[in-house]
């Protein structure tokens, strides 16, 4: 059910992109009760000028390697689950790709379970 | 009021893209009380690596022709309306473009009516 | 906290894009209590065929210079604040770039404050 979008600046290898996407999905399955086969991700690389991010908002030090992750998912995750999810995404990206913790920005957009159709024109959770 | 985004893999003709967008809009006007002239759509084609979709989640069989449709619209559609919308999008895409029902993924993001300005800096429904 | 996306048709200069993004950010800081350093924006230019917009819905006259602005931000802005934000975005785009008021479409997506991590895997406002 999550629909995940990743944006980063152009210049990474296909392997880097795939591994970054793997990390986000593995954190969702580990921390937020997402089934392993419930994976839908859009990865977009942006020109330098097309991604504007303040270098230090919220007390971090952002580099050109910033990854912005938007996750549309169902309501119902507690604050504790969200915190665990954020931490695990950052930990996995750090281990797999040496992404700095400062370079991970996550935005959750919550919707109701009626709002998904994963095929055949049916409300998957309706 | 809906803002509609379509993502699919690169390689379709402009006519295919336009017809897919037509189908989504016609389903919105037919099933979800959207005026015919209330049409705003962004169509993005993605490289093979940039769209990751599980081949069988939710009991369907996805192909490389998967279309992901995200619709931002006002709150207030009932579950029955949402179900009719999903079914009609799939039916129209099937009739017009032979898109397989398995290859249509729909995600609704609901907002309040104050959240739109369609021009002139005014809250269109505020 | 806002994550801002701008879409427009291809063909504008980098300076135009940057100034448009500046205008949206300055309106957010002026009208919606957003800190100056809380700036995260994705700018996407689209081929002619990839942006479909009705030319006159909501009583305006849209041109090829349409800018679509989607702002994901925390709940809590009043209708008055939203109205002031819409008006100020349009006023700034008009002054800085001569964007016509008819050519500005704004969509707000509201989320809860727990839904953001701006780095280090922490819930920034949680």
Convert the pLDDT of each residue in C45-62 to its tens digit.
999 999 999 999 999 999
Helix (H, G, I), strand (E, B) or coil at C104: strand
> Does B126 have pLDDT greater than 90?
no
The token pair that represents C58 in the structure block = 């909501």
Q: Is B43 on the interface with C (CB under 8 A)?
A: yes
Cα(A71)–Cα(A29) distance, rounded to whole angstroms?
A: 13
Confidence check on the interface: ipTM exceeds 0.85, yes or no = yes
CB contact under 8 A, C111 and A106: no
Domain range holding A101?
3-115
Helices (H), C1-126: 14-31, 79-97
Q: Which residues contact A117 (CB under 8 A, 6 or more apart)?
A: A123, A124, B86, B90, B104, B105, B106
Q: Is C79 on the interface with B (CB under 8 A)?
A: yes
CB contact under 8 A, C119 and A86: no
The token pair that represents B117 in the structure block = 């300005």
Cα(C45)–Cα(C48) distance, rounded to whole angstroms?
A: 10
The answer to the question of residue B23 being in a domain is yes
- Identify the pLDDT of residue C123: 97
The answer to the question of residue A92 being in a domain is yes
> Does C19 have pLDDT greater than 90?
yes
Nearest CA in chain A to C3: A107
Given a contact cutoff of 8 angstroms between Cβ atoms, the answer to whether B31 and B88 are in contact is yes
Total domain count, chain C: 1
- Cβ atoms within 10 A of the Cβ of C5, count? 20
The answer to the question of residue B120 being in a domain is no
- Identify the pLDDT of residue C1: 85
The answer to the question of residue B125 being in a domain is no
- Chain C nearest C-alpha distance from A100 (Å): 8
The CATH number for C49's domain is: 3.30.429.10
CB contact under 8 A, B72 and C108: no
The token pair that represents C91 in the structure block = 């006023």
- Chain B nearest C-alpha distance from A59 (Å): 30
The answer to the question of residue B122 being in a domain is no
The answer to the question of residue A123 being in a domain is no
The answer to the question of residue B37 being in a domain is yes
CA distances from A78 to A85, B111, C123 (A): 11, 21, 12
Q: Which residues contact A78 (CB under 8 A, 6 or more apart)?
A: none
Tens-digit pLDDT profile for residues A42-80 = 999 999 999 999 999 999 999 999 999 999 999 999 999
Nearest CA in chain A to B88: A121
- Chain A nearest C-alpha distance from B78 (Å): 9
Given a contact cutoff of 8 angstroms between Cβ atoms, the answer to whether B5 and C9 are in contact is no
- Identify the pLDDT of residue C126: 85
pLDDT band at residue A87 under the 50/70/90 scheme: very high
Cα(A95)–Cα(A6) distance, rounded to whole angstroms?
A: 18
Per-residue pLDDT averaged across C57-80, rounded? 97
List, edge to edge, every strand of the sheet that includes C104-111. Answer: A51-53, C40-46, C3-9, C67-74, C104-111, B116-117
Burial pattern A11-38, b for ≥16 Cβ within 10 A else e, equals ebeeeebebbbbbbbbbbeebbebeeeb
> Which residues of B are less than 8 Å from A38 in CB distance?
54, 57-58
The token pair that represents A5 in the structure block = 């979008």
> Which residues of B are less than 8 Å from C95 in CB distance?
none
> Which residues of A are less than 8 Å from C123 in CB distance?
79, 82-83, 86
List, edge to edge, every strand of the sheet that includes B51-53. Answer: B51-53, A40-46, A3-9, A67-74, A104-111, C116-117
The token pair that represents B2 in the structure block = 């809906």
CA distances from A66 to A44, A83, B20, C17, C122 (A): 13, 20, 34, 20, 16
Q: Is A62 on the interface with C (CB under 8 A)?
A: yes
The answer to the question of residue A120 being in a domain is no
């Amino acid at each position: 059910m999550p629909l995940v979008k990743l944006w980063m600046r152009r210049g990474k290898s296909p392997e880097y992109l795939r591994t970054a996407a793997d990390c986000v999905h593995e954190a969702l399955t580990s921390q937020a009760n997402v089934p392993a086969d419930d994976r839908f991700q859009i990865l977009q690389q942006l020109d330098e000028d097309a991604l504007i991010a303040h270098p230090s908002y919220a007390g971090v030090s952002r580099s050109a390697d910033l990854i912005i992750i938007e996750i549309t998912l169902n309501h119902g995750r507690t604050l504790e689950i969200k915190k665990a999810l954020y931490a695990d995404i950052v930990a996995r990206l750090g281990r797999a790709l040496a992404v700095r913790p400062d370079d991970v920005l996550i935005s959750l957009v919550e919707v109701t379970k009626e709002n998904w159709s994963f095929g055949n024109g049916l409300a998957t959770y309706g």
